[in-house]
Amino acid sequence: MATVGIAFGDVFLWGLPAMKSGLNQIFSLEIPVPRLHLNVQRVPPIVIRPEPEKAIFSLNPLSATGTALLIAGILAGRILGVGLVKLTGIYLRTLWRLRVSMLTISLMLAFGFTTRYSGMDTTLGLALAGTGFLFPFFSPLIGWIGVALTGSDTSSNILFGNLQQITARHLGFSPVLMAAANSSGGVMGKMIDAQSIVVASVATGGRPDSPDAGTVLRSVFWHSLALALLMGVLVFLQSR
C-alpha cells in the first residue's frame, strides 16, 4: 500500500498546474513545424473568422506525464527492493515488448494530425452538419468520428467543438447542447480508437501484432456505434 501511495502521490503532484509550470520554466521548447506552421487556414463555418492554423511541436520532457510515471516506477521498484540494474532490464524488455504498440500509436497520432491539417476532419464534420433538422442526431457521431481518428476526446472537441457551436447557431439549436453532444459521442468512440485497443491488448498479455487487438475491435465496434446512435437519439429528443 505504501508503494501505491508513493506512486500515486508522485503522479498527482506532477499533475498540479504549479508543478507543471515550474518544470516548464526549467526546460520547455516550442518548435514551429517548418512549412506547416501558419500555412494552413481555417475559414467559416469551422471558425468564426479566418485564422491560420498553428503547428507547434511542444517539447516538455520534465513536465510530461510519462516522466512522472517513470519516476513512480523507479521509486516503487526501489521500495520493493529491486536493484537499478534489474529495473533497467525490466524497462528495456518492456520497451521491446511494446515496440509495435508504440509504432501503432505513433502512426495513429500522425494520421490524426494529417486529417486535421489536410482538412479531412472538417470535411467530415461539414458533411454531417449539412443534415439540417437531423443535425442533433448526427452531432454525437461527429465527436465519435473525431475520437476514433485521434484517440482523444479533448482533440475531438478542439477539432469539432467550434464547428458544432457555429452550426447549432445557424440551425437554431442550442450551442451548449451540441458541444456537449460532441464530447458525449466522443466517449463512445474511445472504445474503438487504435491506441486504446493496442494498449489494452498489450497490458492484458496479448501481442499487438496478434489477432487479439483485432478481436477486441470486432467485439466492441458495434457496441460503440450503437451507443453513439442512442446518444444521437437522446440529443435529438433534447433539441426538440
Quickly list DSSP for 132-154: GGGHHHHHHHHHHHHHHHHS-HH
- Cell output for 204: 492484458
Q: Which helix (H) or strand (E) holds 52?
A: strand 51-53
Higher pLDDT, 19 or 102: 19
Cα gap 48→114, rounded to integer Å: 23
Of 137, 221, 123, nearest to 184 by C-alpha is 137
Residue 177 predicted with pLDDT over 80: yes
Higher pLDDT, 211 or 204: 204
Helix (H, G, I), strand (E, B) or coil at 42: strand
Across 160-173, average pLDDT: 80
Residue 25 predicted with pLDDT over 80: yes
Among 125-139, 204-218, 225-239, the minimum mean pLDDT is found in 204-218
pLDDT digits (tens, 9 = 90+) for 130-147: 788 899 999 999 899 888
Q: What's the pLDDT at 201?
A: 72
Structure confidence at residue 7 as a pLDDT band (50, 70, 90): low
Across 66-86, average pLDDT: 86
Structure confidence at residue 227 as a pLDDT band (50, 70, 90): very high
Residue 9 predicted with pLDDT over 70: no
Cα gap 36→230, rounded to integer Å: 39
CB distance 182 to 218 below 8 Å: no
Residue 167 predicted with pLDDT over 60: yes
Q: What's the pLDDT at 159?
A: 73
Q: Is 66 exposed, middle or buried (0-12, 13-18, 19+ CB in 10 A)?
A: exposed
- Residue 21 amino acid letter: S
Across 145-152, average pLDDT: 81
